[in-house]
Amino acid sequence: MSWTYNPALLGNVTLYGNPGTVQIYLLVMALMALFLLLIRKGPLSRLGRHLGRQTGLRALGIGITLYLVIAVGASIALTDDAMLGALDPGVYVGILGGLLVAAAGHLLPTHKAVGERHQRFPAWLEILVVVLLVALALAAAAYGLGIGDPALFVAFLAFVAVIAAGLARGGFFDWLSIVVGHHRTVLLLATFAAAFAFPLTQNGSDANMSIATSVLIFAATAMGLNIVVGLAGLLDLGYIAFLGAGAYVGAMLSESAFATIDWKPPFIIVALIGALFAALLGLIIGSPTLRVSGDYLAIVTLAFGEIFRLTMFNLDGNNGPDLTHGPNGIPAIPELNFFGFDFGATHAFFGVPITRFANYYFLLLLLIGFIILVFTRLNNSRIGRGWIAIREDEKAAEAMGVNVFGLKILAFAGGAFLAGLAGTVKAHQDVSVTPDQYQFLESAFLLAAVVLGGMGTVGGVLLGAVILKLLPEKLRFFADYRLLLFGLLLVLMMRFRPEGLVANRRRQLEFHDDDEALADEVEAIHTEKVT
């Protein structure tokens, strides 16, 4: 059915029998609703008994209704067409259908898989599901970045959110967590294979690969902050200073004509020096301040971030030694060159052009892999358990013999080390370094990525970094309203899912300790993983 008689709205959905992109999204959601209904009352009901607590029909129905409202509202706002009369019956029929699906999900009795064994399939089939989901995520990322129309991009985001909500409420992710627990190596290899294949899907697009490299730098820095905030529970509001420290070291030791240090070691040495210098700053700021906690620690770290930025301004030769050229920064930083491989040149791989940003993207992927390895090893070690004990109850941890102050210092220094390592790469990727790049707002976004994604998790922080770095680039058409949208997103997250998008079960129970069904489900899932 036609949704509007105005072809400027929603990519021209004025025709009958010829669905547009946003209508295809709605058809996919309708097919998913049919599937969820069949696994609740139909030939697939045996599968539904083992997928989770609810069918997700109600969430999907509400999502379909909101999808139509958001898609139409965004299109009308972006085209300056305030006339709701431009809508044809197709929109109202779709809204009615969404309400009917929600009503069906509400009226059907919910089913709980508590106490039952979650459905297991042959190993090859589970591995195939994991690989297909990773491939689907790669295809969705490539498709989403290729959308140029603002209204269509908003509609695509709403479509992904509705599908994810329906699957989550339908218990699919609970089942998937058990499958992934048995095939972690497969998931890790498939994820990195998809990540390395991502530039091949962009056909040499510098714009999309520039966004991708920014996301990876942001994600690498957020992983370091995850040690400080997610594991040790230390609120750091000046963490961006450690990224800046690494970047300035990389710039001052580079081959730039504006570099202020004559020594020009190989980049591997520069990266190590930048990381160690950032770790040293972590020790300097941590030693006198980690004896305070809570709000006082947040204020001190906030002040440290501002002190670092102002210091970079003052090292201009007038107010101090000329190390950073003050507000002008250090420009003209040359491209990296490893064993004759020029990161600034375009290379061909199976006929696909690999541009400058794609070259840095591959390097940053290797860096992300190293950071994830360090984080997971620390998290699963005695040190990680000590950090978690400090986060849960510092006094109790100290009473049990945990070296609280030493572990706090180690968390600060370790997180700063990883941020400084990422900063040395960022200096070459950005070509220049200036103090304005390291403002408080960047620290706030890093913290938001950790909290939004899920503190103490790897996948959650990576997802949070992607959301908070990718969406501002794709939502530039909202101009000054971008921060308002992110603020609204965080408020909704803290209200409905305070543990983050990807949270471990411990965090879920901390925030939902009165949910007996969740406690029973966690026990059932844990038993399934053990067996």
Tell me the per-residue pLDDT of 187-217, one tens digit each, with 9 for 90 and over: 888 888 898 888 888 776 788 888 889 999 9
- Give strand pairing partners of 354: 347
Counting Cα atoms < 13 Å in the Cβ hemisphere of 462 gives: 14
Q: Does residue 525 or residue 467 have the better pLDDT?
A: 467
pLDDT in tens, 167-188: 877 777 777 877 887 888 888 8
Class level of CATH domain 211-340+352-500 = mainly alpha
Q: pLDDT per residue over 25-35, tens digit each?
A: 889 888 888 87
Q: Where in the chain is the domain with CATH 1.10.3470?
A: 211-340+352-500
Better-predicted residue by pLDDT, 470 or 531: 470
249 pLDDT higher than 90: yes
- 337-338 vs 347-349, strand pairing mode: unpaired
- DSSP 8-class letter at 230: I
Cβ 311 vs Cβ 281: under 8 Å: no
pLDDT at 50 over 70: no
What is d(CA 58, CA 473) in angstroms, rounded to the nearest whole number? 33
Length of the chain: 531
Q: What is the pLDDT of residues 325-340, one digit of tens each?
A: 889 999 999 999 888 8
- Orientation angle between helical segments 440-453 and 206-225, nearest 10 degrees: 80
pLDDT in tens, 257-286: 898 888 889 999 999 999 999 999 999 888
For 44, 74, 386, 390, 400, the CA distances from 393, given in Å and listed in that order, are: 47, 46, 11, 5, 11
Secondary structure percentages of the chain, helix, strand, coil, to 5: 70, 5, 25
Whether the pLDDT of residue 114 is over 50: the answer is no
